[in-house]
Amino acid sequence: MILSNLDTVTRRWLLERNLPIHYYADGLFHSATAVRELSYDTLQIINSANLLVNNYGAIDLPDDFVDDLSVCVPYSGILSPLPKQDLLTPIRIHDTTTGEFTPYPNQENTTGLPNVYYGFPNQWQYYFNVNEFGEQTGRRFGSHGGTAQGYKLFKERRQIQLTPSFIDTQVTLLYISDGQRADNASQVDVLAIQCIQAWMDWKTSPSRSIKNSQEAATFYNEKRRLRSLLNPMTKADVVNVLRNSYTAGLKF
């Protein structure tokens, strides 16, 4: 990937429009705003961070957090995503003596080392219904394949709350940044230069507040073009999807 920066984008925009350097601050402001708007649905600046889990199972969100993609537990070199659980409450309990937040009572296995599975104790649930050789015989009728463990995002708390009994001390968060930290050194994909400059043309024109103006239409056309350029789908990917849709079967 070849990257440029907002300083270069702004200076090229000034040269191509025959504008003096006095308009540099205005152009830089609008180019940074374009990066912020495009990061929501087109550029999608995806960041990853290893975050610590506090004593009551919550994770503080990064300052530039917009939306979560996944909360994962590192496991053998891969990231295992946790499911969302809407049953978690946003209300926290606190110690009346110290005033600090404390975890809810949980059902963690305290009879020995817990059977940890993706950060949660497994409660030895697969070690019953066995024969004399110690082999699992099944018969777990009515058992579900999902899990009640996971997380929920609470934007009003600026935190992610994990379900009780989470054992690991940190998780990996994949999230979309708001692009608010953009400055003249911020790097952008060169494919987005024309789209950013179209935004700058729109916001510096007399029609900057009109969403159906000619300048706005030019920006939206450049945005559609940018999405098509950023699409990673190739012919090999399409062929592979079609081939994976076929399965072998018995021939009668």
Query: For residue 145, is pLDDT > 70?
Result: no
* Entry pTM: 0.60
Q: What is the tens place of the pLDDT at every residue in 23-66?
A: 999 999 999 889 888 887 888 767 788 899 888 888 999 888 88
* Among candidate residues 22, 36, 23, 40, the one with its CA nearest the CA of residue 196: 36
Q: What is the tens place of the pLDDT at every residue in 192-219?
A: 999 999 999 999 999 999 999 999 999 9
Q: What share of the chain is helix, strand, coil (3-state, %, to 5)?
A: 30, 25, 50
Q: In the chain, where are the structural domains located?
A: 1-45+180-229, 46-178
Secondary structure class of 46 (helix, strand, coil): strand
- Angle subtended at Cα 137 by Cα 134 and Cα 140, rounded to the nearest 5 degrees: 125
Side-chain half-sphere exposure of 65, counting CA atoms within 13 A: 23
